[in-house]
Chains A and B, each alone.
Chain A
Amino acid sequence: MNGRRSPYEIYWEILVYCKSPRSFTAVINRCDLNSKTGQEYLEFLHSKGYLSVMKDGEKSTYVATERAGDYIALFTEIYQKLFDTIPGFRL
């Protein structure tokens, strides 16, 4: 997903994608982030309790926690409301 996204939109993308356990590389590829910013976002979400890290030997995967579900639901509601409440464009 390209373009200018806000940090909250990126959090949402990461959390939705991490509903199933995902590796760091998979997350940054899917969410179109570079390693540095990807690491920052993942650490931040982990520190806030939205992501948990599962270790399997040397391999680490990220998975969204129950708390992430609240964020995803609230975000989804807010963004869908943008199309419900604001008069749209039509030819």
Chain B
Amino acid sequence: MKDNTIMQFKNELNSFFMLVLLNLVFGAMAMAFGMQFVVSSVLGLNGLQPSVVLRALTGAFSLMCFGLGLMWILSSARILKGITGIRREYRKRSEPVPGEILTGWIVRLMAHYRENKKRIAWMMIICTLGGSVFLALGILNVVQGIGAGDITTRLLSVIAAGINLTIGCVSLRFSLYFQKYSAAWDLRLQETVRSEETLKKSMGIDKE
């Protein structure tokens, strides 16, 4: 049973670490592309926009992407900070892991989730919003491409649309992953509260 516990702990920790790390990368990309599109849309440097309204709309969306990207990075970095310590300790230790060490890591992850519960919920919103904005931006790029006169502009619009639509879809997927993680830990928190009642009753421990 303990081997299973360690394997599940390891898989879960690695999966969450990868999710937050990728999320950080996508946040950085969102910020970078957001800034790039703001500059190109507002100043009209690339000359892609067929109309001023469309240019302004793209600029506004891009600014939102930039802001979301910034929040995205900050939240991801804070979540990542809590789990890197545990992951580092885990990687340093060779198996078999003593039961008390494993329990200590579980307690730390539990504390990390309690501390970051709101931030993870916020992350789901950011990913959904960010994903939606990037999808909208991708659609705008497609419209720009269709309206463009020359091949070069059309090609550049298709590339921009591809990038934005990919980021948008992946971001929405990330939001689902965060929901899945949150659901698992909420269940564990509920179970902990029930178990603590058992501890309190069976051992006669009750701190006022």
Q: In the bound complex, what is the Cα–Cα distance between A85 and B4 (angstroms)?
A: 10
With known contacts A3-B108, A16-B104, A48-B204, A83–B19 Cβ distance under 8 A: no
In whole Å, how far is B186's beta carbon from the nearest beta carbon of chain A? 10
Count B interface residues, CB 8 Å: 45
Residue in A4, A50, A71, A88 with the greatest tally of chain B CB atoms within 10 Å: A88
In the complex, A57 has a CB within 8 A of chain B: no
Q: In the bound complex, what is the Cα–Cα distance between A6 and B18 (angstroms)?
A: 28
Query: B202 to A89, Cβ gap below 8 A?
Result: no
Nearest residue, chain A, Cβ from B117: A4
Query: A9 to B111, Cβ gap below 8 A?
Result: yes
1/0 per residue B156-186: CB within 8 Å of A?
0000000000000000000001001100110
What chain B residues lie within 8 Å of A80 (beta carbons)? Answer: 1-2, 5, 99, 102-103, 106
Nearest residue, chain A, Cβ from B1: A84
With known contacts A1-B111, A11-B205, A79-B106, A88–B184 Cβ distance under 8 A: yes
Q: Enumerate B26-42 residues with CB–CB distance to A below 8 Å.
A: none
Nearest residue, chain B, Cβ from A9: B107
Count A interface residues, CB 8 Å: 36
1/0 per residue A1-44: CB within 8 Å of B?
11111111101110010000000000000000000000001001
Q: In the bound complex, what is the Cα–Cα distance between A55 and B174 (angstroms)?
A: 56
Query: B187 to A79, Cβ gap below 8 A?
Result: no
Query: A70 to B203, Cβ gap below 8 A?
Result: yes
In whole Å, how far is B145's beta carbon from the nearest beta carbon of chain A? 33
In the complex, B95 has a CB within 8 A of chain A: no
In the complex, A53 has a CB within 8 A of chain B: no
Query: A13 to B107, Cβ gap below 8 A?
Result: yes
In the complex, A78 has a CB within 8 A of chain B: yes
What chain A residues lie within 8 Å of B195 (beta carbons)? Answer: 78-79
What chain B residues lie within 8 Å of A8 (beta carbons)? Answer: 196, 199-200, 205
Residue contacts A-B, CB under 8 angstroms, 24 given: A1-B104, A4-B115, A5-B107, A5-B111, A12-B107, A16-B104, A41-B207, A48-B205, A74-B202, A75-B103, A75-B199, A78-B192, A80-B99, A80-B103, A82-B191, A83-B5, A83-B8, A83-B9, A83-B106, A86-B187, A88-B184, A89-B177, A89-B181, A91-B18
- Residues of B bordering A, CB below 8 Å: 1-2, 4-5, 8-9, 11-12, 15-16, 18-19, 82, 99-100, 102-104, 106-108, 110-112, 114-115, 177, 180-181, 184-185, 187-188, 191-192, 195-196, 198-200, 202-205, 207
